[in-house]
């Protein structure tokens, strides 16, 4: 029970914190600060191995499945849209058009490098009619829904 009383005293500030306690709190604080820091130019090595994940909106109309994504700073020829089976994949690369040393940065939050996103299509699409365009930094992929197979009623007969 003395330990509980000791803890209560520490929390209430009625007991002096020892050097060991202070060192432990300092280590916890340092670890929290390290985890809270955003990547900087000095951490570019691990960023070059990382492939960014593209954010998308995917919705449907009566006739189409539509995918929209913000892809600012990327040229259309640097974007690849592939459809295989029931999956659509969008790949690209945002290329840096400037040089800056890590010491020159105040903030470095933009992602530069390869990115991709693959999603399963919720319905069958007509891959021959798919279109994609990039306007004002917004990629729009239009995937026309496949014509549904017409139902045919089969009459059941009897055998003699």
Q: State yes or no: pLDDT of 26 exceeds 50.
A: yes
State the total domains in the chain: 2
Quote the CA–CA distance of 150 and 156 in Å, as a whole number: 19
Q: Does residue 149 fall inside a structural domain?
A: no
Which structure tokens are listed for 9? 């005293």
**In a shared domain, residues 6 and 79:** no
Q: State yes or no: pLDDT of 22 exceeds 80.
A: no
Range of the domain at 15: 2-36
**In a shared domain, residues 67 and 27:** no
Task: Give residue 150's pLDDT.
Answer: 42
DSSP H or E run through 8: helix 2-12
Q: Does residue 68 fall inside a structural domain?
A: yes
What are 114-136's pLDDT values in tens digits? 999 999 999 999 999 999 999 99
Among residues 142, 80, 144, 143, the alpha carbon closest in space to that of 117 is found at 80
């Amino acid at each position: 029970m003395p330990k509980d009383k000791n803890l209560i005293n520490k929390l209430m500030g009625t007991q002096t914190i020892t050097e060991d306690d202070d060192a432990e709190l300092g280590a916890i604080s340092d670890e929290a600060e390290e985890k809270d820091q955003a990547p900087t130019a000095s951490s570019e090595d691990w960023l070059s191995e990382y492939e960014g994940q593209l954010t998308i909106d995917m919705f449907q109309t009566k006739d189409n499945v539509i995918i929209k994504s913000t892809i600012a700073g990327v040229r259309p020829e640097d974007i690849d849209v592939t459809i295989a089976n029931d999956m659509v994949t969008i790949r690209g690369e945002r290329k840096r058009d400037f040089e800056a040393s890590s010491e020159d940065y105040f903030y470095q939050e933009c992602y530069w490098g390869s990115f991709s996103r693959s999603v399963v299509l919720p319905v069958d699409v007509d891959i021959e009619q798919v279109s994609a365009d990039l306007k004002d930094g917004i990629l729009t992929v239009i995937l026309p829904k496949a014509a549904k197979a017409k139902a045919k009623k089969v009459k059941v007969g009897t055998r003699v």
